[in-house]
């Protein structure tokens, strides 16, 4: 074979971004499509190993290291970028196109980073490039949401940097491998990863900002940031039991919010946290089967969650509305989008023969095998719940339910094509999982299609659907209402500013009172002294001759002179 | 709207048919429990109809709790909107419905 130069995968994307900034029209479209295709073809031929390494100060930096774990994320990021670029071909907004290319490149840079410093650089680049996809919406809401997003993302990066410095001090190396939760470095890096991974209480940047981004921006955003975090956890903290509990919490709590949320893209944002929860549980269990499950679920999630965001983006693009309360009956004029959305919904709900099933079942099986009974029950509940809010609610309120009277047509062909590619992948992986399994880091010989699994999952899902039907017939299903639901972000968007305002006004008042009291005393003092010593012979009205002043100056100068001699 | 095309779900009979098929599938799935021998890992899986029951009850509980959460979590749609936004911005946002999709 011919000698081949291994180009770091982020490079084609960064170059593509540069070209996209200066080209327009069809030429730009061709270049933007060509970048992920060529880069993926190149990546497919790159062997495992360290491909770029150099010394920096006292440390060994490895900007390009490839193994099975990073390849999995590398491949899916190429697929995601390719689909998202096709989906956004109609967009005439250079800022978005450039930001998307840079963002995808940063994600690739992060998953192939072999040391913590390189990881940190791409970690921050992810934040700075992606925020433009939110700001590109060009509304006040998007602007402030983007600001909050940026602050939290940068905070995560700063914590990562601090952790990396501690790590270098502890271990004398910056290599990015297994870290584990011992020592300050371990915890700091864990928290940094956790913020980007949308751990509970650090999850609101996601539900806050993603639904405010542009139609195409949200599709791209959903693919990279959280998956990079999952990758980082899988590399540095496999088998950390704490992750099992955090992940289980992540699968459960968002579904409650998703059920009552009106903005359908925000529903998907909550369901994104729920899906990432399954991956985090898999990483936490840490067996070969569980890690395989976590990684393959990340792979599938990028595609089916992208598909769902694309269908909701199509609805927003064509109707200008995204609230469940404003939509309904769209199947009549958007039949293709409806079918594609149902494919995405079936995949995320893990119906047999769809992609979610072949990966999620691995995490569930691993939880049972390792004796995490209660966690398994929580995951089962979350599986039913995700079907309820993402599998039924999204298609139902957008395309069926009551007729909203909106008669929007299916979106432009490029959007339909992008959704079709994603939908075909969802079904292909579901029908023939062996192709996906062959790419996984471990060989476990797992088969998702045995009678037990298929029957159990189908029963669970159909009876969840039955619950939906029953609640609707009884009129107990919560209607879609125009509303904002408070979540943890209330603490920093309302409570904290309000508390700060009150505290500062209190301090200001206290300060005012103290100053006034002091001034009053001081005034009294002055009056007293001036009273005491007023008059011609008083202390304050005595006159001194100029001569004595000169004498004192002479004394001071003499002392200076003396001191300089002493030295 | 009167002379508008009739769509599939505009016909109540179609909905009824779909529902009947759906109920039939549910019943068949429960009955399959007797036919298919499953290898179980967890003792609870042995309970008759564990998965159907868990799915159904789980979802009802989910919806009931979520509905109850609305009583203390729900605020007006523009609850957060007066943060840092000038009156003009808000007016502009309102005019386009806050849905200024990509330019």
Contact A455 B84 (CB under 8 A): no
Q: Of B22, B45, B93, which has the smallest distance from its Cβ to A141's Cβ?
A: B93
Residue of B nearest to A485 (CA): B74
Q: Is residue A406 part of a domain?
A: yes
- Say whether pLDDT at B62 is over 60: yes
Instruction: Give contacts of A477 with chain B, Cβ < 8 Å.
Output: 63
pLDDT at B47: 73
The residue out of A237, A258, A283 marking a domain boundary is A237
Report the first-to-last Cα separation within chain A, whole angstroms. Answer: 81
Instruction: Give contacts of A373 with chain B, Cβ < 8 Å.
Output: 42
pLDDT at A435: 93
pLDDT at B97: 45
pLDDT at A2: 43
Q: 10 Å Cβ neighbour count for A468? A: 22
Q: What is the ipTM of this complex?
A: 0.83
Q: Kind and range of the H or E element at A18?
A: helix A10-22
Regarding whether A294 and A219 lie in a shared domain, the answer is no
Q: Of A140, A460, A481, which has the smallest distance from its Cβ to B55's Cβ?
A: A460
CA distance A300 to chain B (A): 23
Backbone angles phi, psi at A257, to 5 degrees: -65, -35
3-state DSSP percent of chain B in helix, strand and coil, to 5: 60, 0, 35
| Dist. CA A324–CA A344, nearest whole Å | 18
Let me know: does A114 contact A53? Beta carbons within 8 Å: yes
Let me know: does A398 contact A312? Beta carbons within 8 Å: yes
Strand duo A49-56 + A59-66: pairing: antiparallel
Q: Is residue A565 part of a domain?
A: no
Regarding whether A232 and A245 lie in a shared domain, the answer is no
Regarding whether A220 and A167 lie in a shared domain, the answer is yes
| Dist. CA A239–CA A228, nearest whole Å | 18
Domain residue spans in chain B?
8-77
Contact A214 B102 (CB under 8 A): yes
B21 close contact with A: CB closer than 8 A = no
Regarding whether A122 and A24 lie in a shared domain, the answer is yes
- Say whether pLDDT at B101 is over 70: no
pLDDT at A539: 66
Bridge partners, residue A274, by sequence: none
Regarding whether A441 and A364 lie in a shared domain, the answer is yes
Instruction: Give contacts of A385 with chain B, Cβ < 8 Å.
Output: 58-59, 62
Instruction: Give contacts of B70 with chain A, Cβ < 8 Å.
Output: 260, 478, 481, 483, 485
| Residue recorded with tokens 């159907």 | B52
| Dist. CA A546–CA A161, nearest whole Å | 66
**Residue A318 tokens, joined:** 């064509």
Regarding whether A407 and A322 lie in a shared domain, the answer is yes
pLDDT tens-place values along chain A, 567 residues long: 344 678 899 999 999 999 999 998 899 999 999 999 999 999 999 888 888 888 888 888 999 999 999 999 999 999 999 999 999 999 999 999 999 999 999 999 999 999 999 999 999 999 999 999 999 999 999 999 999 999 999 999 999 999 999 999 999 899 999 999 988 999 999 999 999 999 999 999 999 999 999 999 999 999 999 999 999 999 999 999 999 999 999 999 999 999 999 999 999 999 999 999 999 999 999 999 999 999 999 999 999 999 999 999 999 999 999 999 999 989 999 999 999 999 999 999 999 999 999 999 999 999 998 989 999 999 999 999 999 888 899 999 999 888 888 888 999 999 999 999 999 999 999 999 999 999 999 988 898 898 888 998 999 999 999 999 999 888 888 888 888 888 988 988 889 999 999 999 999 999 999 999 999 999 999 998 888 777 766 666 667 778 888 999 999 999 999 998 876
Q: Is residue A562 part of a domain?
A: no
What is the distance of C-alpha A88 from the center of its chain? Answer: 21
Q: Is residue A497 part of a domain?
A: yes
Contact B56 A471 (CB under 8 A): no
Angle ∠(A276,A429,A254) on CA atoms, nearest 5 = 20
Q: Is residue A544 part of a domain?
A: no
Contact B29 A469 (CB under 8 A): no
CA distances from A235 to A223, A228, A263 (A): 19, 11, 35
Regarding whether A188 and A306 lie in a shared domain, the answer is no
**Residue A297 tokens, joined:** 């679920």
The residue out of A218, A237, A256 marking a domain boundary is A237
B34 close contact with A: CB closer than 8 A = no
| Dist. CA A310–CA A485, nearest whole Å | 24
Regarding whether A138 and A73 lie in a shared domain, the answer is yes
Please count the residue pairs, one from chain A and one from chain B, whose beta carbons lie less than 8 angstroms apart: 192
Three-state DSSP state, A534: coil
pLDDT band for position B94 (50/70/90)?
A: very low
Looking at the structure of chain A, the number of domains it has is: 3
CA distances from A311 to A218, A338, A395, B15, B99 (A): 11, 8, 9, 24, 16
Report the first-to-last Cα separation within chain B, whole angstroms. Answer: 32
B43 close contact with A: CB closer than 8 A = no
pLDDT at A200: 94
Contact A381 B54 (CB under 8 A): yes
Q: Is residue A551 part of a domain?
A: no
CA distance B45 to chain A (A): 9
B6 close contact with A: CB closer than 8 A = no
pLDDT at A546: 82
Q: Is residue A341 part of a domain?
A: yes
Q: Is residue A534 part of a domain?
A: no
CA distance A199 to chain B (A): 20
pLDDT at A450: 86
pLDDT at B78: 85
Regarding whether A521 and A465 lie in a shared domain, the answer is no
B64 close contact with A: CB closer than 8 A = yes
Radius of gyration of chain B (CA): 24
Q: Kind and range of the H or E element at A121?
A: helix A116-135
pLDDT at B3: 53
Sign of CA dihedral A105, A341, A415, B96: negative
* Residue-range definition of the domain harbouring residue A286: 238-486
The residue out of A210, A237, A264 marking a domain boundary is A237
Q: 10 Å Cβ neighbour count for A261? A: 29
Contact B62 A384 (CB under 8 A): yes
Contact B100 A138 (CB under 8 A): yes
| Residue recorded with tokens 């790419």 | A439
Let me know: does A149 contact A141? Beta carbons within 8 Å: no
Regarding whether A492 and A475 lie in a shared domain, the answer is no
Contact B69 A260 (CB under 8 A): yes
B18 close contact with A: CB closer than 8 A = no
CA distance A553 to chain B (A): 60
pLDDT at A541: 67
Regarding whether A404 and A307 lie in a shared domain, the answer is yes
Regarding whether A291 and A223 lie in a shared domain, the answer is no
CA distance A44 to chain B (A): 34
Let me know: does A283 contact A290? Beta carbons within 8 Å: yes
């Amino acid at each position: 074979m011919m000698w081949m130069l291994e180009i770091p995968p982020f490079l084609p994307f960064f170059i593509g971004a540069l070209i996209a900034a200066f080209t327009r029209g069809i030429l730009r479209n061709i270049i933007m499509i060509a970048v992920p295709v060529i880069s993926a073809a190149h990546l497919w031929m790159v062997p495992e190993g360290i491909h770029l390494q150099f010394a920096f100060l006292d440390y060994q930096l490895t900007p390009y290291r490839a193994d099975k774990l990073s390849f999995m994320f590398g491949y899916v990021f190429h697929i995601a970028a390719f689909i998202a670029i096709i989906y956004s071909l109609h967009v005439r907004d250079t800022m978005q196109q450039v930001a998307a290319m840079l963002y995808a490149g940063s994600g690739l840079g992060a998953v192939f980073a072999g040391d913590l410093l390189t990881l940190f650089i791409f970690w921050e680049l992810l934040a700075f490039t992606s925020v433009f996809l939110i700001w590109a919406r060009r509304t006040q809401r998007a602007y402030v949401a983007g600001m909050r997003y940026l602050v939290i993302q940068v905070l995560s990066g700063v914590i990562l940097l601090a952790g990396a410095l501690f790590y270098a001090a502890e271990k004398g190396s910056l290599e990015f491998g297994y870290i584990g939760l011992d020592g300050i470095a371990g915890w700091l890096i864990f928290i940094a990863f956790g913020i980007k991974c949308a751990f509970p209480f650090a999850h609101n940047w996601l539900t806050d900002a993603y639904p405010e981004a542009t139609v195409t921006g949200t599709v791209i955003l959903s693919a990279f940031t959280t998956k990079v975090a999952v990758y980082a956890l899988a590399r540095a903290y496999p088998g950390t039991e704490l992750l099992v509990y955090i992940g289980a919490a992540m699968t459960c709590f968002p579904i409650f919010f998703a059920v009552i949320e009106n903005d359908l893209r925000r529903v998907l944002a909550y369901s994104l946290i729920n899906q990432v929860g399954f991956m985090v549980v898999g990483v936490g269990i840490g067996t070969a089967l569980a890690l395989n499950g976590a990684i393959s679920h990340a792979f599938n999630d990028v595609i089916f969650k992208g598909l769902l965001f694309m269908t909701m983006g199509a609805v927003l693009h064509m109707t200008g509305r995204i609230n469940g309360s404003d939509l309904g009956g769209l199947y009549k004029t958007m039949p293709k989008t409806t079918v594609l959305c149902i494919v995405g919904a079936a995949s995320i709900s893990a119906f047999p023969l769809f992609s979610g099933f072949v990966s999620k079942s691995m995490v569930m099986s691993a939880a049972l095998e390792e004796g995490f009974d209660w966690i398994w029950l929580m995951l089962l509940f979350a599986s039913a719940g995700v079907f309820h809010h993402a599998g039924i609610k999204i298609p139902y309120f957008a395309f069926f339910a009551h007729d909203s009277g909106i008669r929007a047509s299916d979106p432009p062909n490029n959007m339909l094509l992008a959704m079709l590619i994603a939908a075909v992948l969802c079904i292909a992986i579901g029908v023939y999982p062996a192709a996906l399994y062959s790419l996984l880091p471990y060989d476990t010989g797992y088969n998702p299609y045995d009678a037990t699994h298929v029957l159990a999952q189908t029963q669970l899902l159909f009876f969840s659907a039955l619950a939906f039907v029953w609640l609707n017939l009884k009129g107990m299903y919560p209607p879609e209402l125009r509303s904002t639901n408070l979540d943890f972000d209330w603490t920093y968007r309302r409570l904290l500013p309000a508390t700060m305002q009150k505290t500062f006004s209190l301090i200001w008042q206290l300060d005012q009172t103290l100053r006034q009291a002091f001034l009053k005393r001081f005034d009294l003092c002055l009056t007293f002294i001036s009273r005491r010593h007023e008059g011609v012979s008083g202390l304050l009205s005595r006159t001194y001759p100029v001569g004595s002043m000169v004498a004192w100056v002479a004394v001071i100068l003499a002392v200076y002179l003396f001191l300089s001699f002493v030295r | 709207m009167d002379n508008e095309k009739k769509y599939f779900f505009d016909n109540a009979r179609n909905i009824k048919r779909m529902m009947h098929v759906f109920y039939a599938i549910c019943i068949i799935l429960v009955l399959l429990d007797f036919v298919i021998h499953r290898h179980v890992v967890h003792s609870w899986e042995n309970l008759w109809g564990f998965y159907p029951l868990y799915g159904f009850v789980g979802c009802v509980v989910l919806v009931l709790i979520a509905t109850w959460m609305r009583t203390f979590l729900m605020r007006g749609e523009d609850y957060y909107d007066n943060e840092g936004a000038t009156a003009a911005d808000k007016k502009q946002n309102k005019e386009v419905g806050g849905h200024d999709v990509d330019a």
